C-alpha cells in the first residue's frame, strides 16, 4: 500500500502549514471525492505562497498509488525532490510537522541513474519535462499505461505542447493537477483545466506572504520624436504617448531603446532603491532587477547603471551556464546592486532582496509580466504584513504600454475563486516560455528591423505612484495626514517630479570603456551566427592557428583602434570623445571587418 493512502498527514489547523497550503489541500480533497470530477484541474498560487509544499501534499488528497511530478527544468526538479527526500533535514513533511515517519518513497528520473526497480518501489517519481520527451522515450515505452494514477505539473507554461499531450495520452487514467502562479499562459490563453482553487495576491500581501507592491509610472508632459518613414519631428502630449504605446509596436520598442527613456527608468529605479534601503536602516541588500529587450539592449542598460556607480551584471540564456552561475552567486552574496535579465533568469532562482523591478522590455500578455514581477514579490520578513522590508516597486514608462499589464495585474490580484472558475479548459495548447520577455526574440542570422521612431526629448517628467491594492488604508491615512497639514495635490506632485541621478563624467567613461569589449564580442557573435559559422572552428584562418571568433574579433578590434589612433592595449586611455566616435561609426567598423575577413562574400 502506498504511503499516500496509508498515512494521514497533519495539514488542516497545523500552524506550520500556510493558509493557502491548507486551503489547497482541502480543495483537492473535495475534488477527489467528486464522482463526476474533471480529469484535469488547476491550482493558482502567487509566488511565495508555498506551491512546492502544496505539491508534496496533493498525493495525500487523492490517496495516490504512485504519483509523477513533472518540473520545467533541472533546478526546480532538484528542489522538488528535496521536499520529498527523507534524508533532507528541511524536508517539507518534517519541517512542518506533517508526518512523523513512514515517509513516501521518492525516486528521480534523471539520465541513467535510476532503473525500473527504483521506480517500482517509489511512491512518487520526480523528473523534468525533458526526460520524458519523444514517442521513443525509453520510460514511456517501458511503463504501462496505468503506472501513474496522478500527474502533477509544476508551471505548465514552461512545457512543450507535444510533450505534455504525450504524457497525458501515455497515462490516460491519471488525474492531472497543474500548478501555476497565473491562470494565463505566456501567449495570453488560459491555463488548461478547471481552476479549483486560487489564492489572490491581495490576500498574500495582507497576510505577509509576499511584498506590498506598487508601480511608478514615468509620465512626460510631452515627448518629441522623429518618424522614420518621413523624418518629421513631432511633439506629442502624455495622452498621445499612452495611445501610441497601446497601438504602435514600433513606438513601444523605440521608447524602450531610446537613451532618453532608458536614463529616466534607470534614475527612477535607483531613487526607489535608495528609498527602500533608507527605510530599512540603510540595508544595502535590497537590489534592482531589470528586464531587457535583447542582448545589445542589455549592455546599454548595464552601462547606464554602472555609470551611476551601481554594481551591475547580467544573465542571458545565450551565455555560458558557468558565467551565469557566477553572476547569480555574486547576487546571492550581495555583491551586486542591479541584475539585468535577457529573456529569463535561471529556473528556480529565488532572491527575496530583489525589491525594484525596472521594466525596459515589452509585455504583450499578463503571464510573463507576472513572472517578472514575481521576482520582487517574495517577502523578506515572513508573515509580517506592513514590514518595511516587504516593499516592492515596479518602474515603467507611460509609452511602453505596461500600464495595461499593471491594470490586468490589479484585477488578477483582487480576483476571487469565482473569477477563475469561469475559465474554460484550453485544447491543443502551444505552451510558450512564461519567462520570455521579448516581443520578437533574437534569432541567429535574422537581422532585426531598425527602429522607425527616434525619441529626441521629454519635458516635465512626473512620477505617478499606483498602488496594487487601491483600498490601501495606510496610503489613505498618509494622504489625509498631508492634507491636514495644509499640503495640496500640487505640493505632492512637485515632490514626486522626476530627478535624474547625477553621474560623473569619469563614471560614464569607465562604463563606456568596459562596455566596448562586450559590444565587440556581441557583434562578432552576430556576424558568425548570421553566416552559420562555428565560433570554435578554424576555417577562416589559413594557418589554422586562431579560431573563427578570435580571428574576427582581432580584425574588428583593429578597425576600432585604427579609427581613433590607439594601439591594442591602450583602450583604458580612451576619452569620451573617442568612445562617442566609435559608437557612432560602429556599424561601419563592423562592416569593414566583415569585408576584410570574408572578402565581400555573402
**Domain co-membership, 38 together with 169:** yes
Q: Which structural domain range is residue 569 located in?
A: 505-598
Residue 147 DSSP SS3: coil
Residues forming a β-bridge with 464: 217
**Domain co-membership, 306 together with 350:** yes
Contact 60, 7 (CB under 8 A): yes
What confidence score (pLDDT) does residue 135 get?
Answer: 65
User: For residue 422, is it within any domain?
Assistant: no
**Domain co-membership, 230 together with 331:** yes
**Domain co-membership, 367 together with 516:** no
User: For residue 423, is it within any domain?
Assistant: no
Q: Closest by alpha carbon to 396, among 241, 227, 203, 209? A: 241
What confidence score (pLDDT) does residue 167 get?
Answer: 84
**Domain co-membership, 189 together with 234:** no
What confidence score (pLDDT) does residue 411 get?
Answer: 58
The domain boundary, picked from 447, 475, 495, lies at 495
**Domain co-membership, 27 together with 86:** yes
**Domain co-membership, 277 together with 148:** no
CA-atom Rg of the chain in angstroms = 26
What confidence score (pLDDT) does residue 446 get?
Answer: 35
Domain count of the fold of the chain: 3
What confidence score (pLDDT) does residue 545 get?
Answer: 83
**Domain co-membership, 232 together with 367:** yes
User: For residue 536, is it within any domain?
Assistant: yes
**Domain co-membership, 222 together with 190:** no
**Domain co-membership, 168 together with 295:** no
In this structure, what CATH number is given to the domain that contains residue 254? 3.40.50.300
559-566's contacts with Cβ under 8 Å and 24+ in sequence apart are: 559/589, 559/590, 559/592, 559/593, 559/596, 560/516, 560/520, 560/589, 563/589
What confidence score (pLDDT) does residue 66 get?
Answer: 96
User: For residue 429, is it within any domain?
Assistant: no
User: For residue 370, is it within any domain?
Assistant: yes
**Domain co-membership, 141 together with 223:** no
Low-confidence ranges of the chain (pLDDT < 50): 157-160, 186-189, 346, 414-464
Tell me how far apart the alpha carbons of residues 151 and 140 are, in angstroms, rounded to a whole number: 14
User: For residue 427, is it within any domain?
Assistant: no
Residue located via cell numbers 534523471: 110
What confidence score (pLDDT) does residue 280 get?
Answer: 95
What confidence score (pLDDT) does residue 450 get?
Answer: 40
The whole-model pTM stands at: 0.63
The domain boundary, picked from 495, 520, 539, lies at 495
**Domain co-membership, 65 together with 189:** yes
User: For residue 313, is it within any domain?
Assistant: yes
The domain boundary, picked from 495, 518, 536, lies at 495
Tell me how far apart the alpha carbons of residues 563 and 455 are, in angstroms, rounded to a whole number: 28
Residue located via cell numbers 486560487: 198
Backbone φ, ψ for residue 495 (5° rounding): -65, -25
What confidence score (pLDDT) does residue 36 get?
Answer: 87
What confidence score (pLDDT) does residue 219 get?
Answer: 67
User: For residue 347, is it within any domain?
Assistant: yes
Contact 142, 116 (CB under 8 A): yes
What confidence score (pLDDT) does residue 561 get?
Answer: 92
Amino acid at each position: 500500500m502506498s504511503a499516500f493512502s496509508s498515512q494521514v498527514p497533519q495539514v488542516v489547523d497545523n500552524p506550520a502549514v500556510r493558509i493557502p497550503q491548507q486551503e489547497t489541500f482541502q480543495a483537492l480533497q473535495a475534488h477527489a471525492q467528486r464522482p463526476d470530477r474533471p480529469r484535469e484541474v488547476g491550482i493558482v498560487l502567487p509566488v511565495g505562497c508555498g506551491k512546492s509544499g502544496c505539491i508534496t501534499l496533493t498525493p495525500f488528497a487523492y490517496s495516490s498509488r504512485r504519483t509523477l511530478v513533472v518540473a520545467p527544468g533541472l533546478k526546480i526538479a532538484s528542489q522538488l525532490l528535496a521536499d520529498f527526500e527523507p534524508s533532507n533535514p528541511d524536508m517539507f513533511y518534517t519541517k512542518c510537522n506533517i508526518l512523523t515517519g513512514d515517509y513516501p518513497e521518492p525516486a528521480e528520473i534523471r539520465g541513467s541513474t535510476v532503473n525500473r526497480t527504483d521506480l517500482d518501489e517509489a511512491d512518487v517519481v520526480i523528473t523534468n519535462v525533458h526526460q520524458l520527451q519523444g514517442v521513443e522515450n525509453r520510460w514511456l515505452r517501458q511503463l504501462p499505461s496505468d503506472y501513474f494514477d496522478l500527474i502533477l505539473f509544476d508551471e505548465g507554461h514552461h512545457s512543450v505542447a507535444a510533450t505534455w499531450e504525450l504524457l497525458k495520452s501515455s497515462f490516460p487514467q491519471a488525474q492531472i493537477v497543474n500548478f501555476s502562479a497565473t491562470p494565463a499562459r505566456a501567449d495570453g490563453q488560459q491555463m488548461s483545466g478547471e481552476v479549483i482553487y486560487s489564492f489572490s495576491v491581495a490576500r498574500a500581501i495582507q497576510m505577509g506572504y509576499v511584498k506590498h507592491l506598487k508601480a511608478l509610472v514615468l509620465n512626460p508632459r510631452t515627448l518629441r520624436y522623429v518618424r522614420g518613414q518621413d523624418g518629421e519631428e513631432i511633439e506629442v502630449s502624455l495622452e498621445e504617448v499612452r495611445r501610441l504605446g497601446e497601438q504602435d509596436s514600433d513606438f513601444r520598442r523605440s521608447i524602450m531603446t531610446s537613451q532618453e527613456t532608458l536614463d529616466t527608468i534607470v534614475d527612477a529605479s535607483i531613487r526607489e532603491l535608495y528609498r527602500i534601503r533608507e527605510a530599512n536602516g540603510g540595508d544595502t541588500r535590497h537590489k534592482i532587477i531589470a528586464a531587457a529587450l535583447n542582448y545589445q539592449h542589455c549592455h546599454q542598460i548595464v552601462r547606464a547603471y554602472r555609470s551611476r556607480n551601481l554594481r551591475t551584471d547580467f544573465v542571458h540564456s545565450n551565455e555560458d551556464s558557468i558565467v551565469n552561475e557566477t553572476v547569480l552567486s555574486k547576487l546571492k552574496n550581495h555583491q551586486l546592486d542591479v541584475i539585468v535579465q535577457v529573456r529569463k533568469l535561471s529556473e528556480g532562482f529565488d532572491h527575496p532582496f530583489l525589491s525594484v523591478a525596472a521594466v525596459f522590455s515589452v509585455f504583450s500578455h499578463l503571464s510573463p509580466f507576472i513572472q517578472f514581477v514575481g521576482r520582487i514579490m517574495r517577502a523578506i520578513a515572513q508573515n509580517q504584513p506592513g514590514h518595511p522590508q516587504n516593499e516592492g516597486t515596479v518602474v515603467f514608462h507611460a509609452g511602453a504600454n505596461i500600464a495595461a499589464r499593471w491594470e490586468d495585474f490589479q484585477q488578477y490580484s483582487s480576483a476571487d475563486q469565482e473569477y477563475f472558475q469561469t475559465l474554460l479548459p484550453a485544447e491543443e495548447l502551444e505552451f510558450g516560455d512564461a519567462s520570455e520577455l521579448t516581443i520578437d526574440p533574437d534569432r541567429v542570422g535574422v537581422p532585426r528591423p531598425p527602429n522607425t521612431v527616434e525619441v529626441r526629448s521629454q519635458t516635465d517628467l512626473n512620477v505617478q505612484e499606483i498602488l496594487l491594492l487601491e483600498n490601501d488604508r495606510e496610503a489613505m491615512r498618509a494622504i489625509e495626514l498631508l492634507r491636514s497639514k495644509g499640503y495640496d495635490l500640487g505640493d505632492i506632485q512637485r515632490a514626486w517630479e522626476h530627478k535624474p541621478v547625477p553621474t560623473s563624467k569619469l563614471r560614464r567613461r569607465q562604463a563606456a570603456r568596459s562596455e566596448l569589449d562586450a559590444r565587440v564580442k556581441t557583434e562578432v557573435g552576430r556576424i558568425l551566427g548570421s553566416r552559420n559559422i562555428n565560433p570554435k572552428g578554424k576555417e577562416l584562418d589559413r594557418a589554422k592557428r586562431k579560431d573563427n571568433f578570435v580571428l574576427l574579433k582581432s580584425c574588428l578590434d583593429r578597425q576600432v583602434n585604427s579609427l581613433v589612433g590607439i594601439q591594442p592595449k591602450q583602450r583604458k586611455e580612451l576619452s569620451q570623445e573617442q568612445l562617442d566616435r566609435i559608437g557612432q561609426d560602429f556599424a561601419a567598423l563592423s562592416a569593414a571587418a566583415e569585408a576584410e575577413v570574408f572578402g565581400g562574400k555573402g
